[in-house]
Chains A and B, each alone.
Chain A
Amino acid sequence: MTADRHDSNPSEIEPIRISEAELGAMTADMDEMHHASLPALRDAVDEWKQLHHDARASAGKVVHTLASRRRFLIGSGVALGGLALAACGSSSKSSPSSTSAPAGNGGGTKSGALTGDLAIVALAAGLENLAVATYQGGIDAATKGKLGAVPPAVVTFAQTAQKHHRAHADAWNAILSSAGKSKVTGVDKTVKTGVVDPAFAKVKNVGDLANLALELENVAAATYLNGIGVIEGKAGIATAATIQPVELQHAAILNFVLGKYPVPDNFAKTTGARAPSDALG
């Protein structure tokens, strides 16, 4: 048989030579394409629409709940090669290129080394615990009269900042617990032995203690700022983002107390950021 094409110039019409079997196969193919491609497209579009509806329905919510943080941090792995090891300690254990945190220690994680986001979480918990311990040391020293007269505002500062750091440590440890890891109850030993202990031994007054606290707050803020750039989980980023400004606020007031300009930098720095290679215990 011959079939004419009706959408062309009649002068150009050429007969199509085709067998019945070929025609049947082509028609079947076309039919299959209709039935396969278009429904799949519709399904995909429907799925896409639903996705956007869901997203927009929840737009405006702010991710600041602990549950949200847990969901995103658990199990997400990311190397932490970007964290620069600060020269604030002299420990030879430090390594700027390490991507894992030590796990076994008095209060460290249960087994094996943590990697990815969880390594950063453990580091953060260790730093927060160190801050809590350092403020406690200052409070104890003040209570024993070793710092001379301690103004009430300074006591309030130390107690409130310590409370904040405890809350931060709890937040990070909750993430570790949710991931089936042990909480970090120890401190960042690298910073403790390299920085805090030597400095604390020289603390004679409120000003000395404020300087040490300022250094710790800046290190914590720098670590979080750097961590935001390498953490993969969105909620992990959000958690660090809600803590970093608070550490910098602590630093601003400490600067103020010390007679320094309270907002010395136009942009927050990552100088002094700690790495997950820091020893915890």
Chain B
Amino acid sequence: MTIDERALAERVEESRDLHSTSLRDTRVALDEMVELSREPSARAVDPEAGHHVAQETGRLLSKGVMGGGALAAAGFGAVLVGLMSTPAFAAQTTDVQMLQTAASIENLAIATYGVALTLPFIGGADAVPVVKTFVTTTVQQHKDHLQAFNSAITTLGGKEQKDPDPVLLGVVNKAKPGLTGPAPVVALAIQLETGAAETYVAFTSALSDVTARKVTTSIMGIEAQHAAVLLAVQALVAAGHPEYITLPPPLAMLPAAAGSIGFPDAFYKTDQARPATEGAVK
């Protein structure tokens, strides 16, 4: 046969140009995609958005649009395969980050209650017995929660979180000089317990791992109960009746408002939920 070698050379050159241009454009887009994947969520995860992302990512992957033979031949296939596996990996990473943040909150709670127990009016001779018992028991419960979260983390292949939430730690450190009586201690504890419970409520919908979600949901209500008790204690202290903090309390003596102070909302809020990555291991 005969062939116009010049024409062939031009077509080959044209093909190379097309290939190079396409790959260059695609690499730019892929770089952005990778950057987006690596970018940690700076705020609490939106469960709906996360679910949507998971669904859409799965759909895109299932479409198999990246199966071009030319790409594989160019050695680009391995890169794409790696990228294609990123969403699943990212989902697990996000779960681990949320669990680490949860563990960091538990670490801080343990440390803070520990400090509180060194105060004479919480853990000493001047303490209301029920309050002292509550703080002591609550510390142990938070230790159990920490262990549960860290166990879930390691199950997912992550590193245990042994440090406190860095942002909340700042809040606690700032509050420490003012912990001169029961009221500010209780107020600080309410802030921590409420933040913990709200964080776990928010995480519940965002976690993809079933075990991680079960652990989290089994703990969120307990923190909410801590907050409820503390709110009741706070009200009685504020009313000048710490002596009413007994088991059982003198019901007839309690102000009417004491009956509802422990549960201010019909639906547990999440506006104080901590960001998903705030306490993640760096």
**Which residues of A pack against B, CB within 8 Å?**
1, 3, 19-20, 23, 27, 30-31, 33-34, 36-38, 40-49, 51-56, 58-64, 68, 71-72, 149, 151-161, 163-164, 167-168, 171, 206, 221, 225, 228-229, 234-235, 237-238, 241-253, 256-263, 265-269
Residues of B near A229 (CB, < 8 A) are 210, 213-214, 217
- Do A38 and B29 touch across chains, with their CB atoms under 8 A apart? no
The verdict on B255 contacting chain A, using a C-beta distance below 8 Å, is: yes
**Given A49-B33, A153-B259, A30:B15 Cβ within 8 A:** yes
The verdict on B220 contacting chain A, using a C-beta distance below 8 Å, is: yes
Q: Would you list the 9 A-B pairs with minimal beta carbon distance, nearest first?
A: A37-B68, A60-B43, A156-B259, A259-B248, A245-B224, A157-B259, A152-B256, A160-B260, A153-B259
**Given A249-B263, A267-B222, A34:B22 Cβ within 8 A:** yes
The verdict on B153 contacting chain A, using a C-beta distance below 8 Å, is: no
The verdict on B265 contacting chain A, using a C-beta distance below 8 Å, is: yes
A77 shortest CB reach to chain B, Å = 16
- Do A63 and B46 touch across chains, with their CB atoms under 8 A apart? yes
**Given A31-B15, A267-B144, A155:B256 Cβ within 8 A:** yes
Complex partner residue of A268 from B15, B22, B217, B259, CB under 8 angstroms: B217
B281 shortest CB reach to chain A, Å = 20
- Do B205 and A55 touch across chains, with their CB atoms under 8 A apart? no
Complex partner residue of B224 from A40, A154, A246, CB under 8 angstroms: A246
- Do A44 and B65 touch across chains, with their CB atoms under 8 A apart? yes
**Which residues of B pack against A, CB within 8 Å?**
1-3, 5, 8, 11, 15, 18-19, 22-23, 25-26, 29-30, 32-33, 36-37, 39, 41-53, 56-57, 60, 63, 65-71, 134, 137-138, 140-141, 144-145, 148, 197, 201-202, 204-205, 210, 213-214, 217-229, 232, 247-249, 251-252, 254-260, 262-263, 265-271, 273, 275
- Do A59 and B49 touch across chains, with their CB atoms under 8 A apart? yes
Complex: A160 Cα to B232 Cα, angstroms: 15
- Do A45 and B232 touch across chains, with their CB atoms under 8 A apart? no
Residues of B near A48 (CB, < 8 A) are 33, 56-57, 60
Residues of A near B219 (CB, < 8 A) are 267-268
11 other A-B residue contacts (CB within 8 Å) besides A20-B3, A221-B221: A45-B30, A47-B56, A51-B57, A59-B44, A153-B258, A167-B266, A242-B267, A245-B225, A256-B247, A257-B248, A267-B219
- Do A163 and B266 touch across chains, with their CB atoms under 8 A apart? yes
Complex partner residue of B258 from A19, A43, A156, CB under 8 angstroms: A156
- Do A153 and B255 touch across chains, with their CB atoms under 8 A apart? yes
- Do B222 and A59 touch across chains, with their CB atoms under 8 A apart? no
Complex partner residue of A51 from B2, B52, B70, B228, CB under 8 angstroms: B52
Q: Which of B42, B44, B47, B227 has the most CB of A within 10 A?
A: B47
Residues of B near A149 (CB, < 8 A) are 252
Residues of A near B217 (CB, < 8 A) are 225, 228-229, 241, 244, 268
Q: 13 pairs across A/B with beta carbons < 8 Å?
A: A36-B68, A37-B70, A45-B29, A49-B29, A60-B44, A63-B47, A71-B48, A151-B254, A156-B256, A160-B259, A235-B47, A245-B201, A263-B229
Residues of A near B270 (CB, < 8 A) are 62, 64, 242
Q: Dominant SS at the A interface? A: helix
Complex partner residue of A153 from B66, B134, B251, CB under 8 angstroms: B251
- Do A234 and B48 touch across chains, with their CB atoms under 8 A apart? yes
- Do A68 and B144 touch across chains, with their CB atoms under 8 A apart? no
Complex: A145 Cα to B229 Cα, angstroms: 29
- Do B265 and A246 touch across chains, with their CB atoms under 8 A apart? yes
- Do A43 and B44 touch across chains, with their CB atoms under 8 A apart? no
Residues of B near A27 (CB, < 8 A) are 11, 15
Q: Which of A36, A53, A265, A267 has the most CB of B within 10 A?
A: A267
**Given A55-B53, A237-B205, A257:B65 Cβ within 8 A:** no
- Do B256 and A23 touch across chains, with their CB atoms under 8 A apart? no
A81 shortest CB reach to chain B, Å = 14
Complex partner residue of B29 from A42, A59, A157, A260, CB under 8 angstroms: A42
A69 shortest CB reach to chain B, Å = 10
- Do A54 and B256 touch across chains, with their CB atoms under 8 A apart? no
Complex: A31 Cα to B44 Cα, angstroms: 46
- Do A51 and B221 touch across chains, with their CB atoms under 8 A apart? no
- Do A43 and B225 touch across chains, with their CB atoms under 8 A apart? no
Complex partner residue of A228 from B56, B213, B226, B275, CB under 8 angstroms: B213
- Do A242 and B201 touch across chains, with their CB atoms under 8 A apart? yes
Complex partner residue of A55 from B3, B46, B214, CB under 8 angstroms: B46
B8 shortest CB reach to chain A, Å = 8
Complex: A175 Cα to B202 Cα, angstroms: 20
